[in-house]
Structure 1
Amino acid sequence: MGDIKQVVVIRTDLEMGKGKIAAQVGHACVLGAEHVRKSHPEWFQKWWGGQEKVVLKVSGIKELQEVKRHAIDLDLPWSEVTDAGHTQIAPGTVTCISI
Structure 2
Amino acid sequence: MGKGKIGAQCAHAAVGILGRYRGRHEAVFRQWEASGQPKIALKVKDEEAMADLAERAQQCGLMCYIVRDAGRTQIAAGSQTVLAIGPAPKSRVDQVTGHLPLM
Q: Which category describes the TM-score, using the shorter chain as reference length? A: 0.7 to 0.9
Equivalent residue, structure 1, for 2:13 = 28
- Equivalent residue for 1:38? 23
Once residues 6 and 24 of structure 2 are traced to their aligned partners in structure 1, the CA distance between those partners, rounded to angstroms, is: 27
Q: RMSD of the TM alignment (CA)?
A: 1.0
**Equivalent residue for 1:53?**
39
Report how far residue 65 of structure 1 moved. 1.1
Which structure 2 residues correspond to residues 1-99 of structure 1 after superposition, within 5 A? Answer: 16-49=1-34, 50-99=36-85
Greater strand proportion: 1
The TM-score normalised by the length of structure 1 is 0.79
User: Which stretch shifts more, 33-42 or 54-63?
Assistant: 33-42
TM-score, structure 2 normalization: 0.76
Q: Which has the higher helix share?
A: 2
- Paired letter, 2:46: G
Contact preservation (8 Å) 1:36, 1:43:
no
Deviations 1:30-54 (CA, angstroms, capped at 9, x unpaired): 1112323122111011001111111
Higher relative contact order (CA 8 A, sep 6+): 1
| SS, match of residue 43 in structure 1 | helix
Percent of residue pairs bearing the same amino acid type: 40
SS at match of 1:96: strand
- Paired residue type of 1:39: R
User: Which secondary structure state, in structure 2, belongs to the residue aligned with residue 56 of structure 1?
Assistant: coil
